[in-house]
Chains A and B, each alone.
Chain A
Amino acid sequence: MPDFHSPDSVGVVTPQTLHFAEPITLACGQTLPAYDLVVETYGELNADASNAILICHALSGHHHAAGYHSDEDRKPGWWDSCIGPGKPIDTSRFFVVSLNNLGGCNGSTGPGSINPETGQAYGPSFPVITVKDWVQSQAMLADRLGIHCWAAVVGGSLGGMQALQWSFSYPDRLRHAVVIASTPRLSAQNIAFNEVARKAITSDPDFHGGRFYDFNTIPRQGLMLARMVGHITYLSDASMGEKFGRELRDQAFKFGYDAEFQVESYLRYQGERFSETFDANTYLLMTKALDYFDPAYEFDDNLTAALKQSSCEFLVLSFSTDWRFTPARSEELVNAMIAARCKVSYAEIDAPWGHDAFLIPTPRYTDIFTAYLDRAAREVGA
């Protein structure tokens, strides 16, 4: 039974769709004349609108970060472990805003939405969105909500990149950026994994060049493969070993090619479930946004120079077994921040779960997160 009556749960929440009639010009040069963003909020905005925290989601995330959608809902939002009354992102002190990013597939305008000009789904004609574009749309969302300056912008993985981008794009509109299990840019290996995922999707015969909506189908196999390979990079060797080991579903080898090891059936199950709920074009778009993110690029590859634009304080956290965005990648970011004389704190948290550790509360992670945001709350009198 879900415990939405528990005192540290935000309880039952209702998402709202906000329509933006003003156009947004994107990094690729195209303009979206209008768009929707689906948003959830938790807690109360204070009188001077200074206690707001923006949650930025990762690749397959969405607006539903905390609480439940109904009394029957069995699973809480994706970051419920960290958002709620008395939790690190304390909704009794902060007003928390969580959205589904532009290009997403959970209600915000994306490739699966109807293009008002054609009356058909955008599909592959939906523009490629970058982290910078997301931050721009999030700033328009902040305007709409009457928030001039965020107490903090918080995100893990791709969400951490958005928090970082906020500090470049709107340095005077956030006090703190919390960048968790992230990186200032993808490595060749990271891009390579994304390319495998994209190739899996685009080579599925049901993809139809991204026009699968017109054929009333989805590239199920491709999405499943993409998710399977992605999922492996989110876990660590040790955590997979602990969870599955070499355990078989049945007692003995069958000398065939069905899923026999538990890890195989787990990955297939995850992949299948994901392929039913996630839009293939959105997956392509999100991985591309990851690949393109590189704030140092415009500064001759000098990350320190890029960071000199920012004026907020940073908290950077990494996890010991994260091999997707290793602690070394966070340290690269932190060192550039030190050289740029940013205010930054950094900790590497010992956790066995690989990249996924940013979603799992461990005592040290929770302590640090709580202590840091407690001070951020005190600063704004929350």
Chain B
Amino acid sequence: MRADLEIIEQWINPGSHVLDLGCGDGTLLDYLQREKQATGFGLEINPEHITSCMGRGVSVIEQNLDTQGLKNFEDQTFDVVLMTQALQAVRRPDIVLDEMLRLGREGIVTFPNFAYWRLRWYLMWRGRMPESETLPYKWYNTPNIHLCTFKDFEALCHRKKFRIKNRTVVDGEHQDRWFSALWPNMLGQTAIYRITRE
């Protein structure tokens, strides 16, 4: 399993009711169901991923966050709402974050850091929109329409009065390296945030 998912798994209590926004092929939920006796749903729009979820016994709902929102879910019905590597691709990340903490006691979010030194270097040196292994798109066809930095994200949490319970910074291989924690906004590639309402 991806290293970031292993970190997330440690933050989820056994028996939790979980909502995974953009659950992909259901790897994480499948793991949480088996290892943590978790229950819950994944939301997904990719047809192949939806079929994979169904094949492995992960409850998946075809639902588009951008066009349908999350109004069909009632307040505080989940212990945890997850969103891995999708926040930067939604139309209004701020509203999605609000919704995550309306539905769940806790939110866990992972996203790529646009202030990572290689991206800064790319932009400074070449003067063009950065491309990397984690961001392998052109500016005109990227699904990542709301890229941000760790500082940006934390400023938004501050404005919204969200409390950051945990933050782990990992590199491209999702490994937790000692130097990333030293200067995360420069050296961290992906962050995993665990947030809650104050």
Tell me if A347 and B62 are in contact (CB < 8 A): yes
Residues 21-51 of B, flagged 1 when their CB comes within 8 A of A and 0 if not, give 0000000000000000001010000010011
Q: How far is the CA of A161 from the CA of B127 in the complex (A)?
A: 60
Closest B-chain residue to A314, C-beta based?
B59
A243 within 8 Å of B (CB atoms): no
How many contacting A-B pairs (Cβ < 8 A)?
53
Contact of B41 among A338, A347, A364, A372 (CB under 8 A): A338
Tell me if A375 and B55 are in contact (CB < 8 A): yes
Contact of A347 among B50, B73, B77 (CB under 8 A): B50
Tell me if B61 and A371 are in contact (CB < 8 A): no
Chain B residues, CB < 8 A from A315: 54
Q: How far is the CA of A344 from the CA of B43 in the complex (A)?
A: 12
A339 within 8 Å of B (CB atoms): yes
Residues 310-332 of A, flagged 1 when their CB comes within 8 A of B and 0 if not, give 00010100000000000000010
B133 within 8 Å of A (CB atoms): no
**Min CB gap A302→B, angstroms:** 13
Tell me if A368 and B50 are in contact (CB < 8 A): yes
Closest A-chain residue to B41, C-beta based?
A338
Chain B residues, CB < 8 A from A367: 47, 51
Chain B residues, CB < 8 A from A364: 47, 51
Closest A-chain residue to B58, C-beta based?
A345
Q: How far is the CA of A348 from the CA of B59 in the complex (A)?
A: 15
Chain A residues, CB < 8 A from B73: 338
With contact pairs A372-B54, A375-B55 given, residues A345 and B47 touching in the complex (Cβ less than 8 Å): no
Q: How far is the CA of A59 from the CA of B33 in the complex (A)?
A: 39
B53 within 8 Å of A (CB atoms): yes
Q: How far is the CA of A113 from the CA of B47 in the complex (A)?
A: 47
Q: How far is the CA of A374 from the CA of B53 in the complex (A)?
A: 12
Residues 56-85 of B, flagged 1 when their CB comes within 8 A of A and 0 if not, give 111111110000000011100100000000
Tell me if A368 and B61 are in contact (CB < 8 A): no
Tell me if B54 and A345 are in contact (CB < 8 A): yes
Chain B residues, CB < 8 A from A372: 54-55
Of B39, B54, B59, chain A has the most CB atoms within 10 Å of the CB of B54
Chain A residues, CB < 8 A from B39: 341, 343
Tell me if B61 and A346 are in contact (CB < 8 A): yes
**Number of residues on chain A facing chain B (CB within 8 A):** 21
Chain A residues, CB < 8 A from B51: 364, 367-368, 371
Q: How far is the CA of A364 from the CA of B50 in the complex (A)?
A: 10
B17 within 8 Å of A (CB atoms): yes
Tell me if B55 and A345 are in contact (CB < 8 A): no
A284 within 8 Å of B (CB atoms): no
Q: How far is the CA of A210 from the CA of B42 in the complex (A)?
A: 51
Closest B-chain residue to A317, C-beta based?
B62
B52 within 8 Å of A (CB atoms): yes
Q: From residue 215 to 230 of chain A, which have CB atoms closer than 8 A to chain B? A: none
With contact pairs A345-B59, A346-B61 given, residues A338 and B54 touching in the complex (Cβ less than 8 Å): no
A334 within 8 Å of B (CB atoms): yes
Tell me if B59 and A335 are in contact (CB < 8 A): no
Q: From residue 119 to 148 of chain A, which have CB atoms closer than 8 A to chain B? A: none
Closest A-chain residue to B42, C-beta based?
A345
**Min CB gap A309→B, angstroms:** 18
Of A331, A334, A338, A345, chain B has the most CB atoms within 10 Å of the CB of A345
Tell me if A345 and B53 are in contact (CB < 8 A): yes
Which 7 A/B pairs are nearest by Cβ-Cβ distance?
A: A371-B55, A335-B72, A347-B62, A372-B54, A346-B61, A371-B54, A371-B51
A interface residues with partner B (beta carbon < 8 Å): 313, 315, 331, 334-335, 338-339, 341, 343-348, 364, 367-368, 371-372, 374-375
Query: 6 other contacts beyond A345-B54, A372-B55, A375-B57, with CB at 8 A cut-off?
Result: A338-B72, A339-B77, A341-B39, A371-B51, A372-B54, A375-B54
* 29 A-B contacts (beta carbon < 8 Å): A331-B72, A338-B41, A338-B73, A341-B39, A343-B39, A343-B59, A344-B41, A344-B61, A345-B50, A345-B54, A345-B58, A345-B60, A345-B61, A346-B60, A346-B61, A347-B50, A348-B62, A364-B47, A367-B47, A368-B50, A368-B54, A371-B54, A371-B55, A372-B54, A372-B55, A374-B55, A375-B55, A375-B56, A375-B57
